[in-house]
Chains A and B, each alone.
Chain A
Amino acid sequence: MNNMNQTQNNEDELFEFTEYSAENAERIGYSDYSYWKSVLQNFFKKKAAVTLLVIFFLVLIFSFVALKIAKYDITMEPDSSKAFISPNSEFWFGTDNLGRDYWSRVWFSSQISIKLAALVAIGECIVGVTIGCVWGYVRKLDRWFTEVYNIINNIPTIIYMTLVALMIGQSFIIMAITLIAFGWLPMARNVRNLVMMYRDREYNLASRCLGTPLHRILIKNILPYLLSVIILRLSLSIPSTIALESTLSYLGLGLDINTPSLGILLRNARGYFLDYPYLLVFPALIVSLITVTFYLVGNAFSDAADPRNHV
């Protein structure tokens, strides 16, 4: 009985006139959706990627501390009487085949590798996006760029690297420039495909009719669509640069011997690690941490950047 009364009341309420309120009439539907906020929210839900990213930054900061507290400097002279000392309180990571302190070598070379990977990733990104935009937007250039792409892509990288190493030399800067010079291709191709998809959408047609200059169309209209892809490529390029650098160093085409990178440490370890496993373990752990982190971060980010996964 009571229940029924209440229903009756409710229904009566529904049919009452509301008073006119100027304020309510102005109110519109509002949602505080923001693309980048949702991307970040989704990204932070990926626990593995975020944890690894935090660990990576801690390790990166620690590498500076580690070099400060190291008992032996990186420039220490080789001393063959101290070769192959297993890790102890004097040499925290032991010594290598020439009797150099492995602790400072490992941390120093990690910094070199990270620096190289970051530099190459940013360089590839700038060159790749610029060329990709022009390649995709200007129809007349498409054939030429495609031909250049096929030719550069079909000659094994190893030939370029050998020629550069022999004719120009081996150093950090040369290595970075060479890797960028041959690494922009996949990025440019990816960007080109996307630009071709967006260049003739109606809003761009309208922009062109209104006389918007080319660079403004590219930067303001098209580039925002490419941002998530660019960031994905940027973070995936770090593991691949480190892998390529270690392969090249293994073949003797990488950096010069005076700038040790993780690849060079791994190459030196190849001859001895069956007897002295610690020579492999330390650089391998750091390399794996860096590459797994950026691989996961890249993938987590590309999931998070997809608006279909947003609330």
Chain B
Amino acid sequence: MLKYTIKRLLQSLVTVLIVVTIVFLLMRMLPIDYYFTEEQLMKFTEEQKQEQLLQAGLLDPLPKQLFNFYRQLITKFSLGDSRRIQSGVAVTKVIATRMGISMRLGVISLGISLVLGVLLGIAQTRFKDKFVDGIGTAYIIFVNSVPSLVSYSLVLVFGSRVLGLPPLYSTRNPVSITLPIVCLSMGSIAGYALWTRRYMVDEINKDYIKLARAKGLTTKQIMIRHVLRNAFVPLAQYLPASFLLTIGGSLLVERFFSVPGMGALMTDAIARYDTNVVQGCVALYASLGILGVFLGDVLMMLIDPRIKLTGNGGTR
């Protein structure tokens, strides 16, 4: 197991390094002028611009820039300073402050959607092909197919016009996180409900459930003890990934409600050519994604002892 873990983490590290390097090179393809604010562009002479770029090390040949970037990362654990988002502040610090906001929203919505989604899935299985199932399916189809921009707009109109909730996020007003959380949860509730229902319906048709029924267990006991526990195993695989990805925030929700979180940070950084911040974000996202998948596999193995990752089990 230890050998497998180390091998897999090393592989992931290589992938992350390649991804970061490619993004590093892509960001260097941008025209030089974008490194300055409009004000600076007007005031600076050509020499001053060159001076600035030289100081920031942006005129060095690409391999040297890349080498410096990694040296800095390994020796000082630093991704460099932000240029435009928060001038002069270390990238790690910029990311850390925003991470908190995104994570708070994300974790609350993850909790809500896990509970509601699984409950909806159970209800749909329990009353399969009845009214509740139909309502649930209609909801899932709506959320999955209608673009989120439209459904967020509907939530915003309904929330602020009918319920009188604040339409924009602000740190001073704790009620203002309601609408972003509703928007974040809407999609994942549908996802959890869909898969819970799918796995539970698959499970119900298996032979051991018939045996349990013949043995005289009540429907409730069968549902909770057998069906749900088995159906939850494949769902558990996605839990760590979705938990880790809350750090990344949601781009559209955060833009829509002006939440100063991680989701908006990366697009802002790209739009303002803050290369260091972009590299930091990409490194973070790529490692979170890969780590999430790995932890998901481990969690699945812990929950279900029949599953082995190393492939020597032979029964699967």
Q: Which residues from chain A sit less than 8 Å from chain B, CB to CB?
A: 150-151, 154-156, 158-159, 162-163, 166-167, 239, 242-243, 246-247, 250-252, 263, 266-267, 269-270, 273-274, 277, 280, 284, 287-288, 291-292, 294-296
A154, A267, A291: the one contacting B145 at CB < 8 Å is: A291
Q: Is the CB of B150 within 8 A of A288?
A: yes
Q: Is the CB of B15 within 8 A of A246?
A: no
Interface size on B, residues (CB 8 A): 41
Q: Is the CB of A166 within 8 A of B30?
A: yes
- Interface SS, A side: helix
Q: Is the CB of A277 within 8 A of B157?
A: yes
Which residues of chain B come closer than 8 Å to A150, judged between CB atoms? Answer: 15
Q: Which of B47-55, B68-76, B116-124, B278-286 is the contact stretch? A: B278-286
Closest to B144 in A: A295
Q: Is the CB of A156 within 8 A of B266?
A: yes
Q: Is the CB of A280 within 8 A of B30?
A: no
Q: Which of B19-27, B87-95, B125-133, B239-247 is the contact stretch? A: B19-27
B194 to chain A, nearest CB (A): 12
Q: Is the CB of B270 within 8 A of A162?
A: yes
B44 to chain A, nearest CB (A): 21
B204 to chain A, nearest CB (A): 18
Q: Is the CB of A292 within 8 A of B267?
A: no
Q: Which residues from chain B sit less than 8 Å from chain A, CB to CB?
A: 15-16, 18-19, 22-23, 26, 29-31, 34, 141-142, 144-150, 153-154, 156-157, 160-161, 167, 251-252, 255-256, 266-267, 270-271, 278, 282, 285-286, 289-290
B160 to chain A, nearest CB (A): 6
Which residues of chain B come closer than 8 Å to A280, judged between CB atoms? Answer: 153, 157
Known: A274-B160, A274-B161, A274-B167. A287 touches B286 (CB 8 A): no
Known: A155-B22, A250-B255, A251-B267. A273 touches B157 (CB 8 A): yes
A-B contact count (CB 8 A): 102
Q: Is the CB of A247 within 8 A of B157?
A: no
Given A151-B18, A266-B149, A267-B149, 7 new contacts (CB under 8 A): A163-B26, A239-B147, A247-B252, A252-B271, A287-B150, A288-B145, A295-B141
A6 to chain B, nearest CB (A): 44
Q: Is the CB of A251 within 8 A of B255?
A: yes
Which residues of chain A come closer than 8 Å to B286, judged between CB atoms? Answer: 154-155
B18, B142, B266: the one contacting A158 at CB < 8 Å is: B266
Which residues of chain B come closer than 8 Å to A251, judged between CB atoms? Answer: 251, 255, 267
Tell me the complex Cα distance, A263–B149, Å: 9
Known: A159-B270, A239-B145. A266 touches B15 (CB 8 A): no
Known: A243-B147, A291-B147, A292-B146. A155 touches B23 (CB 8 A): yes
A246, A294, A295, A296: the one contacting B149 at CB < 8 Å is: A246
Q: Is the CB of A250 within 8 A of B150?
A: no
Which residues of chain B come closer than 8 Å to A252, judged between CB atoms? Answer: 271
Closest to A262 in B: B147
Closest to A150 in B: B15
Tell me the complex Cα distance, A284–B152, Å: 11
Tell me the complex Cα distance, A263–B150, Å: 9
Q: Is the CB of B147 within 8 A of A163?
A: no
A166, A269, A292, A295: the one contacting B153 at CB < 8 Å is: A269
A219 to chain B, nearest CB (A): 33
Tell me the complex Cα distance, A150–B19, Å: 9
B21 to chain A, nearest CB (A): 10
Which residues of chain B come closer than 8 Å to A151, judged between CB atoms? Answer: 15, 18-19, 22
Tell me the complex Cα distance, A256–B16, Å: 33
Tell me the complex Cα distance, A166–B23, Å: 15
Which residues of chain B come closer than 8 Å to A250, judged between CB atoms? Answer: 149, 252, 255
B141, B157, B160: the one contacting A292 at CB < 8 Å is: B141
Q: Is the CB of B255 within 8 A of A155?
A: no
Which residues of chain B come closer than 8 Å to A288, judged between CB atoms? Answer: 145-146, 150
Which of A154, A269, A296 lies at the interface centre, i.e. has the most chain B CB atoms within 10 A of its CB?
A154
Which residues of chain B come closer than 8 Å to A269, judged between CB atoms? Answer: 153
A156, A167, A247, A295: the one contacting B282 at CB < 8 Å is: A156
A131 to chain B, nearest CB (A): 20
Q: Is the CB of B147 within 8 A of A154?
A: no
Which of B142, B146, B160 lies at the interface centre, i.e. has the most chain A CB atoms within 10 A of its CB?
B146
- CB pairs A–B below 8 angstroms (29 shown): A150-B15, A151-B15, A154-B289, A154-B290, A156-B266, A156-B285, A158-B251, A159-B26, A159-B282, A166-B30, A243-B148, A247-B149, A250-B149, A250-B255, A252-B271, A266-B147, A273-B153, A274-B160, A274-B161, A274-B167, A280-B153, A287-B146, A287-B150, A288-B145, A291-B146, A291-B147, A292-B142, A292-B145, A296-B145
